[in-house]
Amino acid sequence: MLREAPAPSGAVEEATPSPLRSPPPAPGHRSLALWLGALGAVLAASLVLAVTIGPADIAPGDVIASLLAHLGLGGQPMGPIHEAIVWQGRAPRALTAAAVGAGLALCGVAMQGVTRNPLADPYLLGVSSGATLGAVAVLLLGLDLLLPAAAFAGALAALVGTLLLAGGAGGLTPTRTVLAGLAIAQGCAAITSFVIFWSATGDSYREILSWLMGSLAGSSWATVAIAGVALLLVGPVLLAGARTLDAFMLGDVGAGALGVHVPRARWRLFVLVALLTGALVSVSGAIGFVGLIVPHAVRLVVGPRHHRVLPVAALAGATFLLWADTAARTVLEPRELPVGIITAGLGAPVFALLLWRRRMRG
């Protein structure tokens, strides 16, 4: 009777993984962790640097020391003037910009995935136009304190109108939803233009124009709370829907074959995107190109899988809008540009470059 020769101990160790030692992470997971770690560090450094840039010269070390003092971890607060500049002006504005940028990028990824449309952005459902109509109404009435609430209410009204119109036209398909969103957006834009033409004068006209172009000049800790809470509530749900968005890349039939309830999933994603977008637009106005450009740029780096694209796009969008807003408030100092001008000026050529690269690869 033949007996097998005993395997060398080294071979046994290699063939049988130790129960006390977990297997090494896959290369994809390792690279994703590296990307998230690097972008997280860049975002944290950008937040510190952004609050030091402006007419008042403030060193990054002073900001960090003041932050530690506010957290009760030691450190040394700055003088009262610099404390007010940082913690009542620049810090809430920087945090609002980061939250809005991250949210718009997440919404852009979700909209492009669920509609299978590379030109989709967070405003495709008419949410921005509805929010603008609500904001313009309260600005003309002089009720500035109600602006976030009115803008959010307008966004929800536009969402309901879009979904009802798309559903009544024969089912919530991507094409019908896009067309319904365009119809609602154009209707809201027409009403907004008429109201501005008929009623806006002086300061109210300038405020409305700034809102239409997108601006973070009115940021405060209240806007940080609105944008941050919306991002914390909706963002994780969108991140958890990465597999559903991957399934939508195969079309409705393919997604259904993978076990996705297509109509229900599409409704859920549309509502989540609209809720988050409405909350963000209510504090920043309509800032274009962030939700369109950032997802495309991220896919070039990490690939099309949504479990990678979503978190990386959130960090990239936060950093992008933070620096765009920093440029908006400092480039033409003491005058300030609406940040939407900066994002459009950067986004248009970048989008053209992405289209050119895609054509060359295709």
- Higher pLDDT residue, 272 or 210? 272
What single-letter DSSP state applies at residue 285? -
72 domain residue, yes or no: no
Residues 53, 58: Cα–Cα separation, whole Å: 7
41 domain residue, yes or no: no
What single-letter DSSP state applies at residue 25? P
CATH number at 271 reads 1.10.3470.10
Q: How many domains does the chain have?
A: 1
pLDDT for the residue 262: 87
pTM value surpassing 0.75: yes
172 domain residue, yes or no: yes
245 domain residue, yes or no: yes
pLDDT for the residue 103: 96
219 domain residue, yes or no: yes
Residue 184's domain comprises 80-361
62 domain residue, yes or no: no
pLDDT one-digit tens code per residue, 209-236? 877 888 898 899 999 999 999 999 999 9
16 domain residue, yes or no: no
Give the tokens for residue 209.
């124009």
Mean pLDDT of the chain: 85
Residues 126, 288: Cα–Cα separation, whole Å: 13
196's CB contacts (< 8 A; 6+ apart) are 136, 205, 208
Split at pLDDT 50, 70, 90, the class of 1 is very low
pLDDT one-digit tens code per residue, 110-152? 999 998 888 888 888 888 889 888 888 888 887 777 888 888 8
Q: Which of 8-17, 40-49, 258-267, 323-332 has the weakest average pLDDT? A: 8-17
Flag whether pLDDT at 10 surpasses 50.
no
pLDDT for the residue 11: 40
pLDDT one-digit tens code per residue, 231-258? 999 999 999 999 999 999 988 889 889 8
